[in-house]
Structure formats: C-alpha cells, structure tokens
Structure 1
Amino acid sequence: MRLRNKPGAKEKMNEYPHIIIQNPSQHKGKWNKLFNNNNPIHVEVGTGKGQFLIGMSKLHPEVNYIGIEKYDSVLITALERAIETNQDNLKFLNEDVSEILDFFEEGEIDRVFINFTDPWPKNRHEKRRLTYKGFLKLYEEILNEKGEIHFKTDNQGLFEYSLESLSGYGMSLHNVSLDLHKSKIEGNVMTEYEEKFSRKGMRIYRCEASFKSK
C-alpha cells in the first residue's frame, strides 16, 4: 500500500515533543519517570492513526500508553487527535517496531497490542508479519513476567498463522474469538479498520497470549 506524503508532517510532529517522543532510547528503562507515575505501560505496535490507543487512554487513565508508528504521514493524524484529547497517559514514537529493544528495557512493558497489521500473505514475506517468531522474541524481551500480547485482525489467514506462530513459540492462548463483535468479551475499543470492516459485516478475530516461561 502506497502512503500519501503529507507535507510538513515531520515538522509539526517536532513541535509536540511531549506527545511524539524524540530520541526514545534516552528513556529506555525510565518511561515511568517520563509519565511521572508507576502505572503499567501498554504498547501498540503499528498504531496507525491512533484511534484505538486514544480510546484506550480515555477508558483507562490508570494505564500509560505508547504507540509506535514508522510512517509520519499516518502518525500525523494520531498527533492531531491526541492534541484534541490532551491525554497525559499517551505518547507516540515515530519509529520502526523492529528497533523496539532500543526503546524499552527488559520487562518494562505490561502489554503489547497488535491490531490489523499488514498480513503480508506471500510466503517470502513471512518475516515481516508482526506475529512472526522474530517479532515475538522482541516482545518477550520487553514484556514483564505477567505481560500479554493482544491481537486483532480481520484476516482469517493471518489469524490462523498467528495462532500457530504464538503456540509454536511456546505461548499460552486465552480469550480466542472467531467473531469478536458477537462474543462476550467486554471493553473492546475499535480501530479505524475495525469500524470499517465490521460495518461490512466482516468477522473480527481476536486472541490474547502470554509466555508460559514467564
């Protein structure tokens, strides 16, 4: 998918360093000092336009949220929304998820959200999927002993692959739903894609996973 460039996006993001955190590696192991509290930290990888994380930050002021998005043409929308809501418990990183170990200390994070990520359906692109074992290893490093991964997608193939990948990595699966919006799972906050797909009557797949060894 080709993303449309938004002139001035990078410059505007630089004007809000308290929302779009610059040089995040400087805060590695010290994110609670930046948030000025000891609340749990939840991270969304590939946060897109920010609807999910902004909704979560409103619903759960007792949790600190950090969204990671490498495309500034997308993240600029998340910034504009965050400026309007002015949530103290919400930050964004304009970074690549593959470098996540540079930003967070071992065991510093309580939860990782993976929502409607690119399915990368071709076999040769497997390593790019955010539920591939290479990424799971990164999440395992930053999650604490009770940490979890929460995953949502509209893509059945990616969901089946992800269940196999998570299980194969030695993770325990919980609250697996093959049709989220018809399930009894409470507190769901929808992403932009989730709203779009659900309006079309498409199923939303969801699961939670934790590391058995933790």
Structure 2
Amino acid sequence: MRLRNKPWAVKLVHEHPESVIDRPDPSLKIDWSKRFADISRPLEIEVGPGKGKFITTMAEKYPEKNFVALELQMTAAGMILRTKLAKELSNLQILCGDAANIDAFFSAHIASKIYLNFSDPWPKTRHEKRRLTYKTFLQKYQTVLRANGQVEFKTDNAGLFAYSLQSMNNFGMNFDFVSVDLHNEKEEVLAANIETEYEHKFAAQGNPIYALHADFGVK
C-alpha cells in the first residue's frame, strides 16, 4: 500500500545520510562495513518494511545483529528513520531503493535472513513477475544469502501464499516451517513471532496469518 507523501519524512531522510542510503546507483556495490560498527555480525534484511514496526523491533531485540530495511517509498523510509533515531538503533540501516536490485546492493552471500512481510500480492496474472516470491526474485535472494540463509515470509493473502509455496518448491527450496494459521501455533512459535502493523490489524479482525521459512540448501 502506497503511503501518503509526508514532507517531514523526506526532509528527515535528507538530514541523515549516515542512516539512510537514498536510491544508490545499482551498478555500485554498497560497502556495508562503513555502515555498521561490526560487519562480522549476522546481517538480516527486510524487503518492503512499510512503517517499520517489524524491523525496528527486531533491531531493538537483537543488538548483536545488523539489520537493513530495504524500502522503495521515501515516506516509509522516513517513518522507519524516526523510530530508529528515537530508539538509537545503531544496528539498523535504511536503504531506499528497488528490491529488484537487491543483488546489486549487497555482495554475494552476505545476509543470513531475508524477511518478506505482507508483500503486495499483485493478484493479476500479467503482474506475476512483480511478486517478491517470483523466480527471478528467489534467484536474487539465493545470491545474497549465505549457504544456510533463510527466507521468512508472512502474508494474510491466501492466493499469494499458495503461489509462493509453489514458486519456492519449483525453485527447489527446502521448507523448515509452514503455517496456515500462525497465530494459533504452539506457544514457542508465538513467542518468537514479531508482528508487523498489518499483521496486528488483520489478526485482530480474525483473519488467518500464513507463514513459511525456507532455505536454498547447500550452494
């Protein structure tokens, strides 16, 4: 969902180049060692974080990891930045760019996890290639992830979930966890789950949340 433009958000992003990389040149790899105090920490990426509840909560909960919020919309990037600054999350960077260039922004095998939370379902067949679980995106994730890296995916859209299962299966991915009703899973699963804004809203309405964790096996 596209957010309404907020001038303050754009202004905030421009004032903090140390925290936000704004639409970088895809032909140049980003040197993440200059963005994080300790690049040896596990790196986790959320693609399309929206307002950022999930990624900022993760960064706060796991200070021993580095996180990147890859977000196309400048307004959303500004909202994430506002929370980052308020909570002093030095282990979170914001990358304002297109997810289609994820393998250009990150070196090969640099990340341990990629999160896809409540992505646009692009339900029309002619838009299939835009879905973040389409095979070309999976190929890019495989390049960016380490050998034991995972893709974690959540959605409220049954059609997108079914499509993603099939797409990942056809790509040869291994499923470590699959749920068609995440919020009614075992207590240990619920304890580990960090909600997004959309997730909280949809679950409160009684809608099931679909989730899966998958990896690419040995490269």
Percent identity between the aligned chains?
43
Contact residue 57 and residue 64 of structure 1 kept, 8 A? yes
Q: What's the CA shift for 1:28?
A: 3.6
2-structure distance, mates of 1:26, 1:3:
28
Q: What's the CA shift for 1:26?
A: 9.6
Tell me the SS of whatever aligns to 2:35.
helix
Specify whether residues 27 and 50 from structure 1 end up closer, same or farther in structure 2 by C-alpha distance, changes over 3 A only: farther
Aligned residues: 214
User: Pick from 38, 43, 63: which aligns with 2:65?
Assistant: 63
Structure 2 counterpart of 1:35? 36
Structure 1 counterpart of 2:136? 134
Tell me the SS of whatever aligns to 1:158.
helix
Alignment of 1:176-187 (within 5 A): 176-184=178-186, 185=189, 186-187=191-192
Q: What's the CA shift for 1:25?
A: 6.3
1-structure distance, mates of 2:203, 2:93:
28
1-structure distance, mates of 2:106, 2:203:
34
2-structure distance, mates of 1:85, 1:187:
21
TM-score where L is the length of structure 2: 0.92
TM-score where L is the length of structure 1: 0.94
User: Pick from 159, 184, 190: which aligns with 2:195?
Assistant: 190
Structure 1 counterpart of 2:114? 112
Specify whether residues 2 and 95 from structure 1 end up closer, same or farther in structure 2 by C-alpha distance, changes over 3 A only: closer
Higher mean alpha-carbon deviation, 178-187 vs 168-177, is at 178-187
Alignment of 1:170-181 (within 5 A): 170-181=172-183
Tell me the SS of whatever aligns to 1:110.
strand
Tell me the SS of whatever aligns to 1:87.
coil
Specify whether residues 30 and 3 from structure 1 end up closer, same or farther in structure 2 by C-alpha distance, changes over 3 A only: closer
Tell me the SS of whatever aligns to 1:114.
strand
Kindly provide the CA deviation profile for residues 162-194 of structure 1, in whole angstroms up to 9, marking residues without a partner as x. Answer: 010011001001111111111121311100000
Alignment of 1:35-114 (within 5 A): 35-37=36-38, 38-114=40-116
Q: Which amino acid aligns with 1:31?
A: W
Contact residue 26 and residue 101 of structure 2 kept, 8 A? no
RMSD: 1.8
Specify whether residues 36 and 2 from structure 1 end up closer, same or farther in structure 2 by C-alpha distance, changes over 3 A only: closer
